[in-house]
Every structure is written in C-alpha cells, then in structure tokens.
Structure 1
Amino acid sequence: MTEDAKPALVENMVLLRREDFEELLDCAAERGAERCLAHLGLENGSAARDIRELRDLLDAWRDARRTAWQTFVKVLTTGLLAALLVGAAIKFKLMGGSQ
C-alpha cells in the first residue's frame, strides 16, 4: 500500500466508545426483535395478550387431555371391578342361577 491510501482508510474507520457500541447493539437487537415479531404477525400492541391467550389455550388443552386419560382409567378400573364382582356372585351362586 502506498502512504496515500493509509490516511483514506483511517478517515473511513469509525471509532466507538464502549457505551456507544453497546447502545448500537441494543438498537440492533430491538430492531431484529421487532422484525421477528412482525414476521410472526405479532407486531401490534396486542402481541402480549395474544401470546397469553395462546398459552391459556395450550394449558386448557393439556388439562382436557389429562382429564380424558384419568376418566379412561377410572372407567376401565370400574368395569374390571364390576366384572370381578359379577363373576364372584355367579361363582358363589348369589345371583339366583340354576342350582
């Protein structure tokens, strides 16, 4: 390189203080987050409410699924116990079957 090229390079370099650099990074991060939210369709002011509603809906789905499994297990258990009782009643001739 010639010496004429060096000053031009130094003139185009930007020197930032640490605080300025951190502020620049914060600004870039905020802009990136805003773009991401806009891409997801959550750019308006009701994004937080929408996300809360989605979480509530997901929690309700999980509760319904858990309740359905619990109900299935209870029905199965009750059916098995009823079958055992009917079998025991037949075995001990408590139901008035043929002698």
Structure 2
Amino acid sequence: MALAEGTLLAQLLAQGAQEGADLATLRAIAEEGGELAAARALARLGLDDPDAAKDMAELRALLGAWRDAKRSVWKAVVGWVVRIAAALLLTGLAVKFGFWDLVK
C-alpha cells in the first residue's frame, strides 16, 4: 500500500510541475506527502499492523501502573520516615524527662 501512496505522490508532483501547480494540486501534494511520511514512520516503529492500537493502549496502561507504583512507594517511604522521626522524638523526650528510669 505504501508503494501506491508513493506512486500517487510522484504523480501529483509531476502534475504540479506540468500544470504550474494550482492550489488544489499543492494541497493534495502536501496531504499525500504527510500521509506517506506518517505511514513510513509508523512502519519503522513497528506500529503498522492492525494490533498496534491495542499494543499502544497496553503500553499506556503499563506506564500508568508504573507511575502509580512509584507514587505509592514514595508515599510509603515518607510515611516510614515520619514514623521513625516521631519514635525518635518520643524516645528523646522520655529520656529527657526521666521516664526512661521508670521503664527500667
């Protein structure tokens, strides 16, 4: 199919050269060139098959899950740091006010 699109683009370019390129011809050349370039780019990325849309949706879901996991890890780390800091503060206050001797 890319060959047919490339052939159409070549025909439009030839027509533009022969006829002096009116506005409709130039628009058609630009459109066909854009479509051909997009098709080539998708083919180079391996996204020119019918399952490409499903693959991209799965990749987006995987990326979203990865971001959620990172966010959860950071929340857990911050939570543990706050708990440890609070425990150290309470231990320090207990030692300062002599509650340590009551525990012994």
TM-score by length of 2: 0.71
Q: Would you say how many aligned residue pairs link Structure 1 and Structure 2? A: 86
Answer whether contact 1:34 1:43 (CA < 8 A) is retained. yes
The runs of at least 4 consecutive aligned structure 1 residues that moved more than 6 Å come to: none
Residue matched to 1:17:
22
2:98 partner amino acid? K
Q: 2:58 aligns with which of 38, 53, 56?
A: 53
Please list every run of 5 or more consecutive structure 2 residues that lacks an aligned counterpart in the other structure: 1-16
Rg larger in structure: 1
Determine the C-alpha separation between the residues in 2 that align with 1:59 and 1:92: 50
Q: Does 1:68 align with 2:34?
A: no
Residues 22-37 of structure 1 correspond to what in structure 2 (within 5 A)?
22-37=27-42
Offset, 1:97:
4.3
Provide the identity percentage: 36
Let me know the Cα RMSD of the aligned residues. 1.8
Between the aligned partners of 1:50 and 1:70, the Cα distance in structure 2 is 30
Q: Distance in 2 between matches of 1:18 and 1:55?
A: 40
